[in-house]
Each structure stands twice: as C-alpha cells, then as structure tokens.
Amino acid sequence: MSSPCTQSKGEEEKKSDSVQIDPGAGYKYGVLVSEDTPVNRNDAHSIQLKIDFSGEKENDKNHVSTLEKVSQNESYAELPVQSKSALKRKMKKDLWELRKKEKRIQEREKRKKRKLDPTHRLNTVTRKQLKNATMANSNCKVTIAIALSFDNYMDERSLAKCVKQISRCYSINRRATDPVQFHVTSLDGASLKEMSKNSGYENWDVNLHEKHFTEIFSKEKIVYLTSESDNVIENLKDDYVYIIGGLVDHNSHKGLCHKLAEEKGLSHGRLPISENIDMKTRKVLTIDHVFNVMVNICNGQSWKEALLEILPARKGAQEKPVDDNTITNGDRIADKFAVADEDAAADEDAEADEDAEADEDAVADEAASADEDAAADEDAVC
C-alpha cells in the first residue's frame, strides 16, 4: 500500500475508508492540529490532517523526522476511523512516544560526550560530596513536602511532567551544601506507577510516603504554598513544613491548592515575588522552581538572588529598583495583565509548551544526574 502522504487524488476518492495525511500546515510544538472540517460520520471516514513542517527550526531536524515517521505511518490509512478526534489522539500519542525515544537517545549521547569532556569533572559534584551532603547531615531542618494526590487532575503527560519535576527537585537537593528535609506524600496509584519509571528511586535520599501530608505532619506546623495566598512568606522556619502542590495543570485549575488549604483550615503563604523582583508574567511557578528557590534560601541566598537565579528569562524576571519594596501602581497594572494572562487559556497552553521545550533539556539532564545520584546512594548504603 502506498503512503497516505503520497496518494494520488484518484486513489483518495476510491479510498473513502482511509485517512489522508497531508504535510501542509498546522503543526506547532508537538500538537497536531487538524482542519476544522466536520466529519460526516454516516458516509465519510476520510479525514484530512494537516501537519506543518515549515515552522520547524533548522536545528530541529530530528523533530521533523519524527513527524515524518508519524505522518507517513501507513497503518493510519488502514485504521477504521471512529472520529476525527480519536485519530488525532492516536497520532499525538504515537508522536509523543516516538519523540520520547529519540530524546532518550539524544540524552544518552549527550551524557557520553559530557563524560569525555575534560572540564566535566570540574563542574560536577563528586561522589564523596554526594555521600556527605545528606538530609541527615544537613544544617537545614526546614521541611519541604511535595503533596501528590492530584492524579485525577492530570492526564498521563502532565503526571509524567510532574514526576520529572520531582526528580529534578531531588537532584537540586542532592547538590545543595545543606539539603532541605525533603518529603513526597500521597505517593500511590498512578503517581507511584510513574515514579517507578525512575529506576532506583527507592534509594533516593528522600522521605517517600503513601499517606496524605495531614496524616504525617502536625497541622500547626504546616504552611501550604500557593500563589493565591494573601500571606507573604518572609523567612523559612526550621520546624515548619512547607507544602508544594504536586500538580502540573498549566493553571487550568486556578486556585485549587489555595482552596484546599482553606477547606482544611491550614496556614498558607506565597513566595515574596512582587516584593523582590519585577516579573512581567503570572506568578505561578513550576514545582521545581518553587523548590529550587526555597533550597537556595536555606543555603544563604536572599529572595532576590534566588528568584533572579532560578526564574527563566522568559518569565521576564528583573531586578527591582533599590528601595522599591512597596506595591506600586505599575505592579498593580502588571498583576492585572498577569491575571488576564492567566485567564487566556490558549496563551497559557502555548506558554506551558514553550516552558516544557525550554526546560526539557535541563530537566532531562537533571533527571539523568538524579539516576547517577541514586547509584551513589546505593554505594553509600553498601
């Protein structure tokens, strides 16, 4: 059978049961967009899916080749098409799987190259340092817990991103001179299954719990972190437990963690972002960015230093003019725009995708390093 991309018009007409994939237009950041033509389920199973290669960057050849592999997959032509969205879902899933495999190969090659680089050893933490910098040896007694239990609010891909962010948190903590007391709670069901993909995670220097955090920590010591809180965190206290919601939702469940904290009668607080830096986008950070900022605070940085170091440039984080700690009209206007930004779901998704693209390499590297850490931990246990 010929590829669906190369079928002639005559063949197309004869094959009313087949799916036509036309590498024309409409692809952006891993999302396949189909034409808005409604499918007449009674007499036509033919769907035109359009994929745009034109927007791809010159250096993104692998990405394009992945797309070609997916779009030229002959099996699509044989699919008994139920609906246009079912086909789109299948193509997206296949595309995601193929990209994942390619990424893994690229990461492995990158790691191999890095090991051969003579400067590599200078930039990495030694095994000895890793063995010594444990939570038990740390001078920092601040507890940070990532609370899972949002499995029902995340699809497979978001849950995978969530667990990837947790593995990055682990990596950040292992590299800190004084690691925080790190816990992951409600690790069961789909979250546990996803976490189990990190081989050796059971050996990580992290307290893993199946239970909900309210069953582990005393209520009076809990501070739920949420960007919607009116309470600004100024200092991190040793005997307190700071909860980060284990949720990757591109803010589609805006205010969820704040609502949960209120419902459970828990204290809550937000990071002092507008008090320390100017930021032109919304102030909802990713799990690993929140964690990283807090680890850096525990290791002696000021809020300003930590926020400027951790927040990606695309967030537009800038130093605030000296002595400007009051909320200005400019801040209010910026906040207003940020809220409008939050409400624009489409913009948010695009931003989240950019986020993922921009951070993907860094996260992958860190996750890989986390595995190396686990190996170091294993050594320590032996």
Ligand X SMILES: C[S@@+](CC[C@H](N)C(=O)[O-])C[C@H]1O[C@@H](n2cnc3c(N)ncnc32)[C@H](O)[C@@H]1O
Question: Nearest-CB residue to ligand X?
Answer: 245
Question: CB under 6 A: which stretch of 1-9, 79-87, 97-105, 250-258 binds ligand X?
Answer: 250-258
Query: Tokens representing 317?
Result: 């984080």
Radius of gyration of the chain (CA): 24
User: Which is nearer to ligand X, 14 or 221 (by Cβ)?
Assistant: 221
Binding status of residue 292 toward ligand X by CB under 6 A: no
Yes or no: say if 167 and 364 are a contact pair by the CB < 8 Å rule: no
User: Which residues lie closer than 8 Å to 139 by C-beta, 6 or more apart?
Assistant: 178
- Contact with ligand X (CB under 6 A) among 84, 185, 245, 292: 245
- Contact with ligand X (CB under 6 A) among 256, 308, 350, 380: 256
Instruction: Report residue 34: phi and psi, to 5°.
Output: -100, 165
- Contact with ligand X (CB under 6 A) among 71, 226, 276, 369: 226
Q: How far is the CB of 231 from ligand X (least distance, A)?
A: 10
Of 237, 176, 246, the residue nearest 208 (C-alpha): 246
Residue count, binding to ligand X (CB under 6 A): 22
CA distances from 169 to 17, 215, 272, 368, 372 (A): 49, 23, 20, 13, 14
- What span, in angstroms and rounded, lies between the C-alpha atoms of 14 and 206? 60
Q: How far is the CB of 238 from ligand X (least distance, A)?
A: 19
Of 276, 279, 280, the residue nearest 324 (C-alpha): 276
Binding status of residue 251 toward ligand X by CB under 6 A: yes
Q: How far is the CB of 316 from ligand X (least distance, A)?
A: 15
Binding status of residue 290 toward ligand X by CB under 6 A: yes
- Contact with ligand X (CB under 6 A) among 67, 195, 287, 311: 287
- Contact with ligand X (CB under 6 A) among 184, 225, 295, 338: 225
Query: Given its phi and psi angles, is residue 149 left (phi above 0), alpha (psi -120 to 50 degrees) or beta?
Result: left
Binding status of residue 84 toward ligand X by CB under 6 A: no
DSSP readout, 85-120?
Answer: HHHHHHHHHHHHHHHHHHHHHHHHHHHHHHHH-TTH
Binding status of residue 161 toward ligand X by CB under 6 A: no
Binding status of residue 283 toward ligand X by CB under 6 A: yes
In sequence order, what are the beta bridge partners of 22? 50
Query: Tokens representing 101?
Result: 């495999």
- Contact with ligand X (CB under 6 A) among 166, 206, 271, 295: 271
User: Which is nearer to ligand X, 185 or 226 (by Cβ)?
Assistant: 226
Binding status of residue 180 toward ligand X by CB under 6 A: no
User: Which is nearer to ligand X, 287 or 367 (by Cβ)?
Assistant: 287
User: Which residues lie closer than 8 Å to 270 by C-beta, 6 or more apart?
Assistant: 225, 226, 227, 228, 229, 230, 231, 232, 233, 283
Binding status of residue 254 toward ligand X by CB under 6 A: yes
Contact residues for ligand X (CB under 6 A)?
225-227, 244-245, 247, 249, 251, 253-257, 270-271, 273, 283-287, 290
